[in-house]
Amino acid sequence: MGAWVFTGYRVQHNKARGPYKGGVRYHPSVDLDEVKALAAWMTFKTAVVDIPYGGAKGGVVCDPKRLSSGEVERLTRRYTAMIMDEIGPFKDVPAPDVGTDAQVMAWMMDTYSSLKGYSVPEVVTGKPIALGGSYGREEATGKGVAVCAREAAKKIGLRLKGATLAVQGYGKVGYWSAEALVEMGCKLIAVTDAGGGAYNPKGLDPRGLKEHERRSGSVSGYEGAEGISNEELFQLECDILVPAALENQISEEVASNVNAKIISEGANGPTTPGADKILYEKGVVVIPDILANAGGVTVSYFEWVQNLNRDRWPLETVNARLEGKMVSAFKAVSDLAEREGVSMRTSAYMLAVGKVAEAQSQLGLFP
């Protein structure tokens, strides 16, 4: 049997504010342009929530669902060995992304540590708890999405008790967003994923739905729910919409039919630029990805700090610090948007680019 050849990437965008930071994606559609865009997003995302990192991203062109666990392990170890000189706890700190998880991070850490000759848990984040992972990391991105939606609801005078919620994508981000918002009083009425959808205007149980999805591979066919398509989900009359799947899901055509009051972006780049303009003109509050889904990188930062100090924070400490970071970043972006009369997305970029430019300018040029 011949050897398989996979193409892998690691892109480093800017390090003016700290070591590079960014996920590793295993997906058939990974290409260099996508990885470059995600690395740049990360630079601005870390600046918005004011954590000392620059942006990077990695990826391997593969379909992990079609590979055995042993194949994914071997692919991961080879990829790590090949980017060994480009990563490191003070240079570039990878994390999980689409198609990767805590186990993949454990293999990356072990490969790097084995080649170094001593344990280096701080080289990656999003690890299993047993290997220095942080409590609260798995749910962090979704919780951040929910906190931002809650803050936006306060701004527009929307009561969360009974507010209707629709979620596209029911992976880690979609599920934890739904779980957190239902805890805050929202009613989950619709969810879609790659295999179909579930709709019940009386409300869906986020945990029951997740158990069904784990068993059957999709939210489709959940007991007591009707089927619903992505197109129908985006057109639903609802208070909060969370796109938590892949890029470019809300096009101009979709945006003109959106009936949500708040969109909290769980995915990276779910809204096209043209759609963004339409939503802003319609008065929909869009919380941009570089703010809404920054909870994951924030708790990754907490994990890195804990590892560097060989420390472990309790879950309550992690959640309280995450809450503080997200609320403060939301306020900064929202206040600037009001002052300048621009959308939250424009404001988030104004804030982020300003911080990166200031750091770059103060560093100067050498030699």
The residues carrying an active-site annotation are 57
> For residues 273 and 268, what is the distance between their CA atoms, to the nearest angstrom?
13
Q: Which of 135, 78, 80, 84 is nearest to 105 (CA)?
A: 80
Task: List CB contacts of 347: < 8 A, sequence separation 6 or more.
Answer: 333, 334, 336, 337, 340
> For residues 250 and 234, what is the distance between their CA atoms, to the nearest angstrom?
8
| Amino acid, single-letter form, for residue 207 | R
Instruction: Provide the token pair at 174.
Output: 């979609």
> For residues 128 and 135, what is the distance between their CA atoms, to the nearest angstrom?
9
Longest pairwise C-alpha distance within the chain:
67
C-alpha pair distances (Å), 272 with each of 78, 90, 174, 277, 329: 35, 34, 20, 9, 23
